[in-house]
Structure 1
């Protein structure tokens, strides 16, 4: 679904109004608001979301008709969750005819629980005139349910857009559940569910609707898998918000925001999650997405503050704690992250998700010897699969214990002999340790056939050929891998080594120099520096 969403013009064009306004130039901002405006820009760049919003508020107050100030105030207010400032800024932009296309979502969220139907209808009508109109039919259906109308009528037209069709189908199934037609709703929903995050979110929404109607067994039948919130709701079934526009809107916008979460946060990303929270302030799934977006934008303090608001007794509490570890680590606060991760994983019967997170953090800190025992704990548990043995073997290999690593990697291979990741790691490791070279090359050839566009596998096969004296075959493979993944230091080093061996010394030094710039450790950087200086 992520690819579909990014490729959908409706979602790709939502910041056109922002660009049009800002392109009319920041230099149009005049006194007396200029000082506050400039302070806000600096705070924004530094990830100080609340401070930036406060200064934009002051700038907008001093120049209430300036669209340049208003658009930046609007975006920062949305990031900060300052709905009052966002509404004021949106009013300025509306008067100037440059209202962002996602603004009706925030307006609709403000009125989702109101008795007055006129305000939500105005927001929906405004949404119909934007590229985000693909959300209109599901939102109108939830509004119809809220107002005792006919939700089916709003969903009667089959959209031409594949993404819109998906939203309509999911909404139809959930509304059937909300109307109390439980068996029919579950039957409509099951064909739409998979193993992705969107399906997990939809399972939870459906289960809550069923739990609210006392259908706990049917709810449990949807709550499959070991995702922490699914397990938590399965073990402690409880409903939260009654079905209606607030519930449906908050679910839908969170579901869309989740699909967009893998990319760089945009104005739309923030509007989706903040509108979801405005419609339903108890939506902790949206809160997790908001914290993740803020973290990616460098607003670490604000991201951690958002996680503090997650219900400690709710189904997302464990994910909020794990998210805190991840945010601290990504912000370079590794010792804080490590202390928290160690605390979470310390009980011998602790949550295996916490064990996994601590092991991953040790690897991130280049401490494979500390990671290996934790990965072993995961690999030796009941139900472990090839991936558990692969990460255990990889940690042992990085720690320098090749005999133990080889044994663990063989376990991974025995469980998944055609899995490209297993074939690639084991084949490459055998080549590096000068063992069973022909067999290793054959493994890498099988991996390359299974994933021909994977640069890591392409490089591994090229390196195996080079190590076995087949340089003419090796070079184009490694060149292709380097072109596909130019920031991979290992591939760049391999390319330099091959160039040097065939006498292309200038290109070799260029490849090594480029690889050194992205080296992950000082040891690798020092090795590359030596090659640049002295060759092979």
Structure 2
């Protein structure tokens, strides 16, 4: 047997970086004997080629597939264009189109590494095991293929032997591969699946008992199902009950419930050799997703896994998550919708999805997803926290409070560490909706749990300063927050503004200038620095900061009053404060509280 590619192997189960180096990034050099052709595209090629490249850069896979197909039509046989089209077809989910395209490339003798991979997947899909065995036979490999032969080819061949009815040869090949300690955990997992598929549950159970072999969702499911075949149901139930986060894995919970109810449980983690090869693709997709240059390999392998085994929720979920990372939310939503329709919604994945949608400012879709998650899992506190966070981020503070109420009610008997963040988040929502008494109680409770959280200390400290309450403790909190996060511009701004509100203008200059150093494009910080400069007599510099604040789209920040800044430029800060009753600074009595300096020192 050819030695597996060890660099690739290490990445698989240990999540070590993996060089992508599979698809050409530039047009190929001419073959020996070929003349160098002018590489400038023709008029008919230039448009679709440039459009395809732009779409690929933006991860718009469907557009890239369309334009690369047009480019190939203008320049058939170009290996770079054909490979790029295949990448786009697979990434967009057009596997049937990719299969046809790859077959045409193979028939012309223009095959690439990717076309061979896709064509091999098609042979699996059609159950043409003998053809696949011929393609993976070491005797038929070119010198380069033999030299670069890697773990994936060997594993696909083992499952192809199973498909061809040559189980003993398949098991022998996997046994031989498992002799290499660097690949043993992953190979032993597939060896266990293969042994279970032929009814050797005792051997499968022994192999799966090694945590390194199956310490993932499919591995735990396989082990529990194998134990059930051996009438070791209690052991299987115990295995599942001991899993941390079991309530977030509906498939494992359903299996546990069926085992407890005494229902018939078969072994169906893999039902066919095609399922086994799908798991090979999924394993590689997982490893490649964690590599230093995962694009586009991880998504392609996940797509092929999902195509070969449409009921494998883990493969579809990985496709959805990778698409989401590429900001392809419409394509990702198709996969998530399929998971929901099949009853395979995964709370952890949904939470990640909601967060990604919110970060991309797809608030309507995020809110819909959060409401769906709370409806499907009403007893899951993380779902209510996600809904509360989403509403809070949209400044729907009063609406966010009931969501946090539900979460905290469910967490009342949970460890304290599970409660600090929802307490903090509810405190913000309460404070911003005008319920400071309740907010203060929540924030103090959160600080008692996590006194090392800089943002939490800063929030309550500044709230007290802003209200003219608990000045000593408030300033101490903000100073502590600065010590914990000395480069956080928001916290530096809070410290400077606290000095300002106390009338200690000269002390406010340095931290506010430090805040500007980290947040130069923030209109609020520029506005604050202008006010501080004015108060220390640097009026020309103050005007420059106010003008800069106006140039930074102040209307995008709800805490910035553009009209007030214009008034300061026209009439000066003192006149504006006089009109307002000097609400921006605290009284001298508050500013000179006896122990304030002690707190600052």
**TM-score with structure 1 length normalisation?**
0.72
Corresponding residue of 2:244: 224
User: Per-residue deviation at 1:366?
Assistant: 1.8
- The alpha-carbon distance between structure 1 residues 173 and 484, as it changes in their structure 2 partners (threshold 3 A), is farther
Residue in structure 2 matching 1:287, options 311, 316, 341: 316
The question of whether the paired residues in 2 share the 8 Å contact of 1:492 and 1:512 is answered with: yes
After TM superposition, give the deviation of residue 424 of structure 1 in Å.
3.6
Alpha-carbon separation, structure 2, partners of 1:95 and 1:39:
27
Compared with structure 1, are the counterparts of its residues 306 and 529 closer, same or farther at alpha carbon in structure 2 (3 Å cutoff)?
farther
Further displaced range: 76-85 or 293-302: 293-302
Report the counterpart of residue 379 of structure 1 in structure 2.
Answer: 408
Tell me which residue corresponds to 1:57.
69
3-state SS of the aligned residue for 2:245? coil
For residue 362 of structure 1, what is the aligned residue in structure 2?
391
Q: Counterparts in 2 of 1:440-459, with a 5 A limit?
A: 440-451=474-485, 454=488, 456-457=490-491, 459=493
Instruction: Using the TM superposition, give the Cα deviation of residue 405 of structure 1 relative to its aligned residue in structure 2, in angstroms.
Output: 1.0
Change (3 A) 1:9 1:501: farther
Identify if the C-alpha distance between structure 1 residues 497 and 83 changes in structure 2 by more than 3 Å, giving closer, same or farther.
Answer: farther
Task: Mark the CA change 1:294 to 1:111 in structure 2 (over 3 Å): closer, same or farther.
Answer: same
In 2: Cα distance, 1:329 partner to 1:26 partner: 47
Q: Are 1:276 and 2:305 an aligned pair? A: yes
Find out whether 1:437 has 2:477 as its counterpart. Answer: no
Query: How far is 1:79 from its partner?
Result: 1.9
1:256 aligns with 2:287: yes
Pairs within 5 Å for 1:163-202: 168=183, 171=186, 174-175=189-190, 178=193, 180=203, 182=205, 185-189=208-212, 202=215
Whole-angstrom CA distance in 2 between matches of 1:62 and 1:177: 49
Q: Which structure 2 residue ranges, 5 or more long, are not aligned?
A: 1-10, 30-35, 163-169, 196-202, 229-235, 257-264, 574-601
Return the alpha-carbon distance in structure 1 between the equivalents of residues 387 and 54 of structure 2: 35
- CA distance change for structure 1 residues 467 and 283 in 2, over 3 Å: closer, same or farther? farther
- Give the superposition deviation at 1:468: 5.4
Using the size of structure 2 for normalisation, the TM-score is 0.65
Alpha-carbon distance change, 217 to 99 in structure 1, aligned in 2, over 3 angstroms: same
- Tell me the secondary structure at the aligned position of residue 214 of structure 1: helix
- 1:298, distance to aligned residue in structure 2 (A): 5.0
Q: Report the Cα distance in structure 2 between the residues aligned to 1:124 and 1:82, rounded to whole angstroms.
A: 30
| CA apart distance, 1:346 | 6.2
Q: Considering Cα pairs closer than 8 Å and 6+ residues apart, tell me whether 1 or 2 has the greater RCO.
A: 2
Q: Which residue of 2 aligns with 1:301?
A: 330
Match of 2:560 in 1: 524
Quote the Cα distance in structure 2 between the aligned partners of 1:303 and 1:57. Answer: 23
- Which of the numbers 176, 192, 212 marks the counterpart of 2:225? 212
Task: Give the drift of 1:209.
Answer: 1.5
Q: Does 1:75 align with 2:98?
A: no
Which string of whole-angstrom CA distances, capped at 9 and with x for unpartnered residues, describes residues 357-377 of structure 1? 332332232211111121122
2:24 paired with 1:17: yes
Which residue pairs with 1:149 in the alignment?
172
Q: Deviations over 1:465-499 (max 9, x none)?
A: 56556777765555555555666665565555555
CA distance in 1, matches of 2:560, 2:107: 55
The answer to whether the aligner puts 1:234 opposite 2:257 as a matched pair is no
- 1:61-80 CA-partner distances (Å, limit 9, x unpaired): 34212345334423321221
Q: Deviations over 1:419-467 (max 9, x none)?
A: 4443343334333333323323333444444455555555545555565
The equivalent residue for 2:581 is: none
Structure 2: distance between partners of 1:26 and 1:466? 68
SS at match of 1:213: helix
Q: Which residue of 2 aligns with 1:164?
A: none
The CA distance in 1 between the partners of 2:358 and 2:255, in whole Å, is 31
Q: Aligned equivalents of 1:397 and 1:171: distance in 2?
A: 52
- CA distance in 2 between partners of 1:484 and 1:224 (Å): 40
Please tell me the root mean square deviation across aligned C-alpha atoms, in Å.
Answer: 5.0
Aligned partners of 2:529 and 2:558: how far apart in 1? 20
Indicate how the Cα distance of structure 1 residues 8 and 327 shifts in structure 2: closer, same or farther if over 3 A, else same.
closer
Whether the aligned pair in 2 keeps the contact of 1:49 and 1:80 (CA below 8 Å) is yes
Aligned pair partner of 2:440 in 392, 403, 406: 406
2:41 to 22, 26, 29: 29
Deviations along 1:63-118, one digit per CA (max 9) or x if unpaired, are 21234533442332122122354453698699999958x77765665566763334
Q: Distance in 2 between matches of 1:280 and 1:38?
A: 35
After superposition, the Cα gap between the structure-2 partners of 1:467 and 1:523, relative to the gap in structure 1 and judged at 3 Å, is closer
Distance 1:386 1:318, change over 3 A: closer
Structure 2 counterparts to residues 470-485 of structure 1, below 5 A = 477-479=511-513, 482-484=516-518
Contact 1:372 1:395 in 2 (8 A): yes
1:424·1:447 contact (CA, 8 Å) conserved in 2? yes
SS in 2 for 1:224: coil
> Paired residues, what number?
503
SS at match of 2:87: helix
Q: Please give the alpha-carbon distance, in whole angstroms, between the structure 2 residues aligned to 1:10 and 1:346.
A: 40
Corresponding residue SS for 1:316: coil
Alpha carbons 1:479, 1:495 under 8 Å: kept: yes
User: Of residues 125, 133, 136 in structure 2, which corresponds to 1:117?
Assistant: 133
Question: Is the CA contact (8 Å cut-off) linking 1:355 and 1:374 kept in structure 2?
Answer: yes
Is the Cα–Cα contact under 8 Å of residues 142 and 248 in structure 1 kept in the other structure? no
Alignment check: 8 A CA contact 1:344 1:350 kept:
no
Offset at residue 406 of structure 1 (A)? 0.8
CA contact (8 A) 2:457 2:481 kept: yes
Structure 1 counterpart SS, 2:400: helix
Which SS does the other structure have where 1:435 is aligned? coil
User: Distance in 2 between the 1:15 and 1:482 partners?
Assistant: 45
